């Protein structure tokens, strides 16, 4: 299972996630910096990628067109690279199950508060 990480995500992520998501790329690494959403969508579709973004555009496109490609939307607000890295690593099994579901087009992953943040 390989991910195509949207332009709004760090180009460092594919290397940091390579053990769990081999063959993943970030849009810029794929030569698509500044490309339209349609071009990125088609690249993900034709390349067999799961498209990962925290931008609403791909979430909406998923509603409109369905899969492929499958879309993982990160509901993390302005969460930085370390938060996104932890979320994608912790959600590996959930993403794999999502990819295996033929009718599923969109998976929303939310940043979960840490245990310490819940204590009084």
Place of tokens 């033929």: 102
pLDDT for residue 112: 62
The tens-digit pLDDT sequence of the chain (120 residues) is 999 999 999 999 999 999 999 999 999 999 999 999 999 999 999 999 999 999 899 999 999 999 999 999 999 988 889 999 999 999 999 999 999 999 999 999 998 654 333 333
Instruction: Give the pair of three-digit tokens for residue 94.
Output: 């959930």
pLDDT at 116: 38
Cα(60)–Cα(87) distance, rounded to whole angstroms? Answer: 21
pTM of the model: 0.89
The span from the CA of 10 to the CA of 54, in Å, is 12
Both tokens of 73, joined, read: 């939307």
């Amino acid at each position: 299972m390989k991910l195509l990480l949207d332009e709004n995500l760090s180009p460092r992520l594919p290397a940091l996630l390579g053990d769990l998501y081999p063959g993943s790329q970030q849009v810029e690494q794929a030569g698509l910096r500044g490309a339209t959403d349609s071009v990125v969508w088609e690249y993900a579709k034709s390349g067999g990628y799961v498209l990962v973004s925290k931008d609403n555009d791909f979430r909406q496109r998923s509603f409109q067109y369905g899969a492929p490609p499958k879309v993982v939307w990160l509901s993390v607000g302005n969460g930085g690279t370390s938060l996104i890295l932890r979320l994608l690593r912790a959600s590996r099994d959930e993403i794999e199950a999502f990819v295996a579901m033929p009718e599923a087009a969109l998976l929303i992953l939310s940043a979960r508060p840490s245990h310490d943040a819940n204590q009084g």
